Amino acid sequence: MEALTWAEILSRMFYQLFPVWIAMIALFSISIFYKRNLGLYGKLFDSKIGMIGFGIVMFWVFVGFFAGALDMISTHDPLSQVSGMKNKVPGTPFRGAEEGDYAFYLLGGDHLARDIFSRVMDGASIIIVIAPLATLFAFMVGITLGLPSGYYGGKLDTLFSFLANLILAFPVILLFYLLVTPEIRMTGLPQYMAIFLFSFPILFFAVLINTRYYIEPQKRNILMLIIVGSLSYLYLSLINEAGTKVTFFNALDGFDVPGGLLTVFVSVVFVNSPTVFRIVRGLTLDIKTRDYVSAAQTRGEGAWYIMLWEILPNARGPLIVDFCLRIGYTTILLGTLGFFGLGLDPESPNWGATINEGRKLLSIYPHPALPPAFALLSAAPRVTSLPQKPSPNILTSFQRVHHDDPFQKHEKLDQQKWLLSIKNPVKLQICVC
């Protein structure tokens, strides 16, 4: 059997990615059709650059989903080593192929005779699991601590700010190295940190539901049981791992998280949380002086209701921008950790480890290192902001009290007081740089 040409390689890769193309066509069709009803997300599709960048990011998201969860893209086992396929060039026929085996190594083999194409595809599943979820958890921690710090001020603000600055004073790579070293992991410190950090999403949603449905106890209790109960089950499954320091929830352990993956996850949350805290605190200090916050206080609303339902929605623009940026930073950080062999299993198909293994013979065999490098480069989103007119369909508490049209009643007044109080409202555009 002859080796494939580059045209044949590309066509076969295109065919293997067929589920991804179908998912992207469906996503873009629905999003463009309903973009006027999708808020900030819909405004991405008013920009060609935004659509291109969003498409690249979603491409890897779908690749990770179909390759990792459904196993529909990879042509071979990313960990299997095949005799005679060491450092083979792209398009090399698969030696010893049996019935049901894919006949080629589309992107060649690495120094351990593993399929590069399958490793790149499966590596995307690690990125799409850790990067968004770790960023989301970091935001839960930062929001839960930043809101009361900025709203109450005083000694509470001093304490939280000191702790955040203390964590930020450490170099990121050094901090990661200290957390993921085997000696530190054996002490159970990452799990103890997970017990503390992973409790914040439960606390956040519990307070959110309670403040919103305080006067509707029956509805509140049902939502508490469903949402908080589900989060608690996930929480116990995340922090528990057999054979480690935290093993007393085995009866409620729904799934196992590899120790290395949990350590990296906790480390990313721990490092990103102080930055999110400072952003939320600064926004809260600014927004709490606005008139609609005073109106809510005059109505007798509680402090947490004001923080979660008056201040937080008005801070969503900068937070969404930072969330998208932080996912990109986390993606690069995961690649860096994999490159240095920290946290993740060295045998796992993460892009950083694949790049590190391929660079050793880069001058002779460039094909093992280049595909994961391009994948890591393209998977990291960047967000820019452009001016946008404030949306008139989002009202402040003052406007919700007065049922008249706020723009007709207050047309001669400064509308900045009656709209979302973001000094520089933003429009999201995702692009790759």
CB count within 10 Å of CB 189 equals 16
Looking at this protein, which amino acid is placed at residue 414?
Answer: D
Residue 278: which H helix or E strand, with range?
A: helix 259-287
DSSP state of 427: E
DSSP state of 383: E
pLDDT at position 268 is 85
Closest CA to 235 of 227, 224, 244: 227
Nearby residues of 280 by Cβ (< 8 Å), 6 or more positions away = 142, 143, 145, 146, 147, 150, 315, 319
Please list the rounded mean pLDDT of every run of 10 residues in the chain (433 residues): 88 94 95 87 84 88 89 89 88 81 89 91 87 90 95 93 90 75 77 88 93 90 92 82 64 62 83 93 94 91 92 90 86 84 76 87 87 86 44 41 39 39 40 39
* Single pTM value for the model: 0.80
What distance in Å separates the CA atoms of residue 351 and residue 348, rounded to the nearest whole number? 9
> Contact, 4 vs 12, CB < 8 A?
yes
pLDDT at position 255 is 63
pLDDT at position 7 is 94
CB count within 10 Å of CB 295 equals 19
Q: What letters, b where the CB count within 10 A reaches 16 and e where it falls short, cover 320-349? A: bbbbbbbbbbbbebbbebbbeebbbeeebb
Domains along the chain with CATH numbers: 123-335 (1.10.3720)
> Contact, 92 vs 85, CB < 8 A?
yes
